[in-house]
Amino acid sequence: MIIKYTLQRLLMLIPVSLSISVVIFLVVHLLPGDPIDNLMRVGSSPEDRLAMTVKYGLDRTLVEQYLLWIRSILSGDFGEAIVLRRPVSALIWQNLPYSLTLGALAFAFSSIVGMIAGTVSAVAKNPVVEQVVKAFILLGSTVPSFWLALLMILLFSVTLGWFPVSGAKTWTALVLPVLTIGFGGIALVARVTRVALVEIARQDFVTLLHAKGLSRSTILFRHLLPHAFLPVVTILALRIGWILGGAVTVEFVFGRPGLGSLLIRALGQRDYPVVQGCLLMLALAVMLGTLIGDVAQAALDPRVREATT
Amino acid sequence: MSTILKVEALRVAIGALTPLSSVSFSLEKGETLGLVGESGSGKSLTAMAIMGLLPLIGGRITGGSVVFDGSDLTALPEPAYRKLRGGRIGLITQNPMTSLDPLKKVGSQIDVVARLHLGLDKSAARNRTVELLGELRIPEPASIYHLYPHQLSGGMKQRIVIAMALAADPDLLIADEPTTALDVTVQAQIIRLLSDLIRDRGLSMVLITHDMSVVAQACDKVVVMYAGTAVEYGTVAAIFDDPRHPYTKALIGCIPRGLAGAQRLKGIEGTVPSVAHYPQGCRFHPRCPRAEAICAAVSPPFIASRDGAAACHFAGAVG
Amino acid sequence: MNALAQSGVGRAFTTPLGLFSGGYILILLVVALTAPWITPFDVTIQDLANSNAAPGWPHLMGTDEFGRDVLSRVMYGARTSLSVSATAIGFSMIVGMALGAAAGYFGGLFERAVMTVVDLTWSFPDILIALMLVAIIGPGLSSTMFAIAVAYLAQFTRLTRAQIVQLKRETFIEATINLGATPAHILSRHLLPNAVAPVIVVGMLAIGDGIILEATLGFFGLGAQPPTPSWGAMMSSGTAQLFLAPWVIIFPGLVVAVTVIAINLFGDALIRALDIRERLRGT
């Protein structure tokens, strides 16, 4: 049943991906500035220029360019980076593992710690604990991530010397970036968990669970937390894009390779094919996130499963 | 006959308010006692107090006693109370739509009670559940077992809730408006089912309802509640033949009698006062057709009558 | 309606948190408005003999690599950061309300087209949208404003549409429609006035997000250009001196964080005072 549902959702992604590809294509082609300018050395002839334009297909109509682009993407070819002069797919493959590692770790870190923090603040009827978690949640959603990254570097790398300042050579270089991205994520997950738990605990069936003689911990772990998972999973899946977005800033500050750094560099150089490739990958991640969220929700909630199959 | 439940001068506080006071009644083994009143009269609060679940809604018992099978529950520590809940006292709640965990199969929600209180293993508990579902006149119990709550009708869900309450063979059932949320035809079925269960299993039951006709159908004794306090108690026969409290009379007046008694159905003017605004003296006096000066000043004592008593200054007077 | 909003704003100040956060915001506004006259030092005058001085007297927050007073620049930066964010969000709010109201009122194909685009941008991280736009238009304050406005457009459109759709089901609106009132009349007289309070509160919270976004773009060197002080730009130029003069980064960032926290707390107080938590749900 879940497999059928997943396949259905995958099919629905096709039209969405196509429309996203059109948007990305158009947006990128609205970028002002001629990338050919970046390639031309001073004093090169108009003929050289024309040859370049033809080589990158920039002389054709937008529709033709789009169709060509889509066709090559479907065959795994993202084109050639104009400035870096390498296949875009190679650039993406080279940078993707760094972003994936960072994203996955930050994701796991923030969901686990966030759920624990949210549960503690909802269950501990202790006003001090509650206020501390609340304050933390507020901090996590208001502190700019690049600033947090800089503070982390100052404290842990410069002052304490525990972790490298930048780069991605050792696994210890991952700690600070994961903490930085995770900080905002923890706040988000904790808040959602807390709200969900408080709301569920008010429902009738919880009274009846108590009336059956179940202990508080059984009720919390077997019945309340599974309910709290539902909104948390949804939010987390929707926020995969946001975690990647956070990765953009954090990769930049920590000088890590990754899709984010690649994108920022390409934006600065107006390297169309690279920008397109990166945006497409990020869009794909966002869509996959939504898909995973939907499937997970169907797996967790029999009502969703039934309504959609 | 021995007394299974005795509630005496029960008093419940939530924060600074006292929404429930001077509620007393006793229930013999095998009997059904009706707790009747409009919403807001404190019936459900009484149920929560007996179940020891007041902390869930931020309440606590501040006076009186709840004696179950000889031991006072008001002083019972939580672990011991947990053994009673579900084990010896079963609760049936008002709204079956929201009483079951929507993420768990109904069968397993029943199983857990027998596993917890009777120490049965998984398969024994399952067999017991399926058997119980059959006893509750649920068709194809073995397949219902594997369904989720949203796949069942309201009446079915209420049977599941009843099965949960019965799963560990309790001595006492507390049914809090078990039929209010159901269709009229289903209501009658559930009430009949409960009555049969009480008779066949020798159970005792506190049946909470706002509907006097349900009381007439299913109960042996009645406690009429108004604005957080008991106003009259007695046997069903006595209460219906000769109600002493004006509020009881009004409630009985609310029962439709079909064509035979074609007089106009009487409602009760006004609404139950909220906890923060309980009137001085007799709490019913602002709505009472018989109210006199004394009613607003002095809260009436119980005056005994045939098989019962009523808290009204004029309960002794004829008419 | 106006009276209601005003009494609500007044009530938001009655809780301790509401008072502190609201007070802080008011003081910050005053500083932003009067910055050119009240800063202890001139924000552009360089004093190389005094470069990278640690916090102390007379430079309470220290000086940057050119010997400029950090406190003065933080004060002046409030002017830039607040006005950029507030202008952008105001613009975004107006356009978002118009789009959302039209989508919610007319429904049909128009609604679906608008909401498809809105949902697409909604699922994209705001920083990515902003980076893309700034890359298209080129760096600077006006493109920063535009980027912030577009990045939060989806939020206002969704919220307004949700409100309008809900209000449309209410009896008094149906009655007005049945009486033959024109859409413009119904929207401007009945629907929008009733939908405006939650949108304004969300707008206020979004100013906080806008400040963070402005700071981030500024940090990437895409926002305010030197020598204009903005919180983001100050931190951008400070990275080079991170190890020598960390205060150049610490203080502007701290002010960003405190400001955004204050805006959030005050927004919370406002939500409670106006009693609109329910209406903000699900958006």
Residue B18, by phi and psi: left (phi above 0), alpha (psi -120 to 50) or beta?
Answer: beta
Phi, psi (5° rounding) for residue C112? Answer: -65, -40
Please report residues of B whose CB lies closer than 8 A to that of A301.
Answer: 102-103
The radius of gyration of chain C's CA atoms, rounded to the nearest angstrom, is: 21
Mean pLDDT value across chain B: 87
- Residue A131 and residue A188 in contact, taking contact as beta carbons nearer than 8 Å: no
Q: Given B83, B87, B103, which is nearest A300 (Cβ)?
A: B103
The radius of gyration of chain B's CA atoms, rounded to the nearest angstrom, is: 20
Interface touch A212/B102, C-beta < 8 Å: no
What's the rounded mean pLDDT across residues A163-186? Answer: 79
Q: Which domains does chain B have, with CATH numbers?
A: 3-88+171-256+267-311 (3.40.50.300), 98-167 (no CATH)
Interface touch A211/B103, C-beta < 8 Å: no
Please report residues of C whose CB lies closer than 8 A to that of A158.
Answer: 242-243
**pLDDT of B32:** 94
pLDDT over 90 (residue C90): yes
- B132 in contact with A, Cβ within 8 Å: no
- B91 in contact with A, Cβ within 8 Å: yes
Please report residues of B whose CB lies closer than 8 A to that of A226.
Answer: 103
Residue written as tokens 């560099």?
A265
Q: C58-86 in b/e burial notation, b at 16+ Cβ within 10 A?
A: ebebbbbbbbbbbbbbbbbbbbbbbbbbb
Q: How many residues does chain B have?
A: 319
Q: Over the stretch A55-99, which tens digit does the pLDDT of each residue have? A: 666 677 778 888 887 888 888 787 778 777 888 888 888 988 888
Interface touch C120/A23, C-beta < 8 Å: yes
Tell whether omega for the bond before C58 is within 30 degrees of 0, i.e. cis. Answer: yes
Find all residues with CB under 8 Å of B290, minimum gap 6, and list them: B246, B314
Q: Over the stretch C143-181, which tens digit does the pLDDT of each residue have? A: 889 989 988 898 899 888 888 888 877 777 777 777 777
Q: Which domains does chain A have, with CATH numbers?
A: 97-268 (1.10.3720.10)
pLDDT over 50 (residue C283): no
- Residue C147 and residue C133 in contact, taking contact as beta carbons nearer than 8 Å: yes
CA distance A121 to A111: 15
Please report residues of B whose CB lies closer than 8 A to that of A203.
Answer: 98
**pLDDT of B319:** 46
Q: If we measure between CA atoms, which residue out of A221, A215, A218, A219 comes closest to residue A205? A: A219
Tokens of A205: 């069936």
**pLDDT of C200:** 85
Q: If we measure between CA atoms, which residue out of B214, B86, C209 comes closest to residue A215? A: B86
Q: Given A205, A213, A302, which is nearest B117 (Cβ)?
A: A213
CA distance B124 to B115: 9
How far apart, in Å, are the Cα atoms of A43 and each of A37, A85, B264, C194? 12, 21, 105, 64
Classified as helix, coil or strand, B300 is coil
How many Å is the maximal CA-CA distance in chain B?
66
Q: Over the stretch A217-229, which tens digit does the pLDDT of each residue have? A: 888 888 888 888 8
- Residue C1 binned pLDDT confidence (cut-offs 50, 70, 90): very low
Interface touch A208/B93, C-beta < 8 Å: yes
**pLDDT of A30:** 66
- How high is the ipTM of this complex? 0.86
The DSSP string of A198-230 is HHHHTSHHHHHHHHTT--HHHIIIIIIHHHHHH
pLDDT over 70 (residue B258): no
- Residue B262 binned pLDDT confidence (cut-offs 50, 70, 90): very low
Residue C225 DSSP label: P
Mean pLDDT value across chain A: 80
Beta bridge partners of B230: B225
Tokens of A143: 């502190």
Cβ contacts below 8 Å, chain A against chain B, sum to: 73
Q: Is B123 exposed, middle or buried (0-12, 13-18, 19+ CB in 10 A)?
A: exposed
Please report residues of B whose CB lies closer than 8 A to that of A209.
Answer: 101
pLDDT over 90 (residue C38): no
What's the rounded mean pLDDT across residues B14-38? Answer: 90
- Which numeric CATH code is attached to C2-33+70-280? 1.10.3720.10
- Residue B261 binned pLDDT confidence (cut-offs 50, 70, 90): very low
pLDDT over 60 (residue C2): no
Q: Chain C: list its partners (3+ Cβ pairs within 8 Å).
A: A
Q: B18-34 in b/e burial notation, b at 16+ Cβ within 10 A?
A: ebbbbbbbbbeebbbbb
Tokens of A163: 């972790």
Sheet with B221-226, edge to edge strand ranges = B89-92, B172-176, B204-209, B32-36, B221-226, B229-235, B308-310, B303-305
Interface touch A249/C126, C-beta < 8 Å: no
Q: If we measure between CA atoms, which residue out of C105, C95, C39, C25 comes closest to residue C70? A: C39
Interface touch A267/C239, C-beta < 8 Å: no
> What's the whole-model pTM score?
0.74
Q: Given B86, B102, B161, which is nearest A303 (Cβ)?
A: B102
Q: Could you tell me the residue ranges of all domains in chain C?
A: 2-33+70-280
Interface touch A223/B101, C-beta < 8 Å: yes
Distance between A227 CA and the closest CA of chain B, angstroms: 8
Please report residues of C whose CB lies closer than 8 A to that of A150.
Answer: 235, 239, 242, 249, 253
Interface touch C124/A249, C-beta < 8 Å: no
- A160 in contact with C, Cβ within 8 Å: no
